[in-house]
Amino acid sequence: MSRWLFEPGLFANQSVRTALLVGAVVAVVSAVVGIFTVLRGQSFAGHALTDVATAGGAGAFLAGVAPLAGFIGGGVVGAGAMDVIGVERVKGRDIATGVVLGAATGLAALFLYLSTTHSSATGTTQSILFGSIFTVQSSTLPEAAVLSAVVLLTLAAIGRPLLLSSVSAELASARGVHLRTVGLTFMVVLAVSVGLSAIVIGSILSTALLIGPPASSLKLVRRFGAGVALAIGLGLVATVLGIVLAYDSYYWSSAHRALPVSFFVVVVVVAEFVLSSSIHKWRRARVPAAVHSVVADHPEGWH
Amino acid sequence: MFSSFMTNAWISGTIVAVLAGAVGFFVVLRGASFPAHAIPNGAFAGAAGANLLGINPLFGLVSFAVMAALGIGVTSRRTRNDVATALSLVLMLALGAAFLTLSTQYEPAINALLFGEILGVSSSEILPVVVLGACCIVALVVLFRPLVFTSVTPELAEARGLNNTLIETLFLVVLALSTALTVPVVGALLTFSLMIGPPAAARLMSSRPSRAIALSVGLALLTVWLSIAGSYTFNLPIGFFVGTLGAVLFLGARLRGSRRARSRRLVIA
């Protein structure tokens, strides 16, 4: 079994070890932030931030700055802009959002084109859009760890008011929660976590790690703490399995061409979601319809 | 700029603009911006797969776009679940990335598929593009009245005996075919922009459907022609110009509109 799953030299390889560590850190942060994102019905905002982060990452590449700084810078600026024009929900605003995102993508096109033609770097497009975890420098690990700690501490600080305002804005308001501050803080946290997952699976695919494991976990459990724990577990499985399979895929064909990590991570994430949805459906079919509450029926629309 | 190797660019660009302008009007009218966002990603995976197998990319583009459209048509009737749709979006993109990795493509080929390439349509492909484009236009002309009717008052249309589901499916197929033709020229990530920007601006500028469509096609033509000229002159990707011009047109129309009437409703012509 272990012979079959782990190809020779997997754990001896320095870049694989770095990849696994960074991947694990990112999976934990994405899962925790993702739970709030799904509960608040902000999957669309998360998806929208990835487009802006793409432009940021590509710009950083062009300027010769570390991509992580670009992803996060772009994401934070995008989060601020989205707060100003209020585009975080699909409804009603989707046309304006589409146009703004189109412009951001156009900018990304420009930056990527310039960095591929005006420098000797190859694979820029691939690594910005679809990730390149095996090329992450081990010096990135402390940065990613510090940022993750900041994200988790911020979430711990605003967790209760955030959860309350996600469930009932009126109630939270009456309890003295400043909705706008909490909302904007969360958007910035979301932007940082999109930036972090962009270095693992690429900017336009970071939606997968952010939304997939939490959505799957909320289909299976109902308690908040259990939901967070399960989402972290599912995210870790997807990331580690994705990295290992991508490493192995080098040996699958005689041509020795490895498939991207992001591809395997996305496949595992989608498989987890399909599986948990089927379990959810199967369970529902066994319980009389009158028993369930609205919340149990629509965990992802619970906002 | 008008030398012989650019002829295909101008012809295909013009067809694409007319199609995107006309189809985009209905995308905006029906609030179908989600399919317009998702189908190009499917088309991207299709083109990458065709590249891998060494067959004509148009086959991959058309088949994957139509499959994505029909898939959306089937699932959206049951539920509107943004988590599932977001995940299927990224799955298609990841699939495209995997195909491209397998098929030893050089980086410019990937860039071209994602962000557009004015020379993306070769001489051998121009005939199918013209034929498919013409089919889409004819289909839109035939479907014009039922499409407007079902978009504005779906209940009344149903009561008059129109089959909403059939019209929705036909519309999605037309959308998929136009996407397949548009992706090679302006790129998978920016097809959405061309189908939303000019039509949304046109809708803000006119309330009559026939005039709004004409305006939408005109603005899309302007966007594409300026983008081809800009891309050629400055040697930059066409997607950059399409994305930026789409946003500029929309914001312009928005400013102009907000200065005049606050909101207008579409009147059936």
DSSP code per residue over B142-186: HHHHHHHHHHH-HHHHHHTT--HHHHHHHHHHHHHHHHHHHHHHH
Interface test with A, best of B41, B95, B105, B189 (most A CBs within 10 A): B189
CA distance A180 to A167: 15
> pLDDT tens across B204-223, in order?
888 888 889 999 999 999 99
**B81/A300 Cβ within 8 A:** yes
Q: Say if residues A109 and B239 touch (Cβ distance below 8 Å).
A: yes
Hey, which of A77-86, A141-150, B163-172 has the most confident mean pLDDT?
A: A141-150
| Domain ranges, ordered by start, for chain B | 4-189
Mean pLDDT (chain B) is: 81
Q: State which residue of chain B sits closest to A39, comparing Cα positions.
A: B83
Token pair 């011009």: residue: B245
Q: Per-residue pLDDT for B57 more than 60? A: yes
Structure tokens at A232: 């972290």
Which residues from A are below 8 Å from B93, CB to CB? 130, 204-205
In the predicted model, is pLDDT for residue A181 greater than 70?
Answer: yes
Query: Which among A214, A230, A266, A274 has a CA at the least distance from the CA of A245?
Result: A266
Contacts of B81 in chain A (CB under 8 A): 300
Instruction: Please name the amino acid found at residue B156.
Output: L
Chain A residue with CA closest to B90: the answer is A205
How many Cβ atoms are within 10 Å of A84's Cβ, its own excluded? Answer: 8
Q: Is A37 on the interface with B (CB under 8 A)?
A: no
What CATH number did the domain enclosing A26 receive? 1.10.3470.10
Output the CA–CA distances (angstroms, integers) from residue B177 to B38, B42, B53, B137, B213, in the order listed.
13, 12, 21, 11, 19
Whole-model pTM over 0.90: no
Q: How far apart are the C-alpha atoms of B140 and B143, rounded to whole Å?
A: 5
Q: Which of B83, B97, B111 sits opposite A263 (nearest CB)?
A: B97
Question: Does the pLDDT of residue B260 top 70, yes or no?
Answer: no
- Gap from A142 CA to chain B (nearest CA, Å): 28
User: Are the beta carbons of A109 and B97 separated by less than 8 Å?
Assistant: no
Q: In chain B, which residue's Cα lies nearest the Cα of A249?
A: B102
Distance between CA atoms of B85 and B177, rounded to whole angstroms? 21
Q: What is the ipTM of this complex?
A: 0.76
Cα A257 to Cα A202: distance, rounded to the nearest angstrom? 19
Query: Distance, in angstroms, between A269 CA and closest chain B CA?
Result: 8
Determine the Cα–Cα distance for residues B118 and B128; give it in Å rounded to an integer: 17
CA distance A74 to A60: 9
d(CA A209, CA A198) in angstroms, rounded, equals 10
The Cα A70–Cα A77 span in angstroms is 10
> How do residues A191-201 score in pLDDT, each as one tens digit?
888 888 888 77
CA atoms B232, B234, B239, B241: torsion sign? negative
User: Does the pLDDT value for residue A186 go beyond 50?
Assistant: yes
Average pLDDT for A122-149: 76
Are B192 and A273 within 8 A, CB to CB?
Answer: no
A270 pLDDT more than 80: yes
**B90 contacts on A by Cβ (under 8 Å):** 204-205, 207-208, 266
CA B199, B201, B205 angle in degrees (round to 5)? 110
- Tell me which range, A131-145, A183-197, A282-296, B80-94, is most confidently predicted by mean pLDDT: A183-197
- Contact: A102, B246; criterion CB under 8 Å: yes
Do A163 and A180 form a contact (C-beta atoms < 8 A)? no
Q: Is B108 left (phi over 0), alpha (psi -120 to 50) or beta?
A: alpha
Using 50, 70 and 90 to split pLDDT, how confident is the model at A151? very high
Range of the domain at A138: 2-301
Q: Which CATH superfamily is domain B4-189 in?
A: ABC transporter involved in vitamin B12 uptake, BtuC (1.10.3470.10)
Give residue A120's pLDDT. 56
Closest to A197 (Cα-Cα) out of A57, A297, A93, A99: A57
Q: What phi, psi does B160 have (nearest 5°)?
A: -80, 5
Write out residues 263-292 of A within 8 Å (CB-CB) of B: 263, 266-267, 269-270, 273, 277
Question: Is A61 in CB contact (< 8 Å) with chain B?
Answer: no
SS3 annotation, chain A: CHHHHCCCCCCCCHHHHHHHHHHHHHHHHHHHHHHHHHHCCCHHHHHHHHHHHHHHHHHHHHHCCCHHHHHHHHHHHHHHHHHHHCCCCCCCCHHHHHHHHHHHHHHHHHHHHHHHHCCCCCCHHHHHHHCCHHHCCCCHHHHHHHHHHHHHHHHHHHHHHHHHHHHCHHHHHHCCCCHHHHHHHHHHHHHHHHHHHHHHHCHHHHHHHHHHHHHHHHHHCCCHHHHHHHHHHHHHHHHHHHHHHHHHHHHCCCCCCCCCHHHHHHHHHHHHHHHHHHHHHHHHHHCCHHHCCHHHHCHHHCC
Of B97, B187, B196, the CB nearest to A262: B97
Number of domains in chain A: 1
A94 touches chain B (CB under 8 A): yes
Distances from the Cα of A88 to the Cα of A212, B72, B170, B186, angstroms: 19, 23, 31, 26
What number of residues does chain B have? Answer: 269
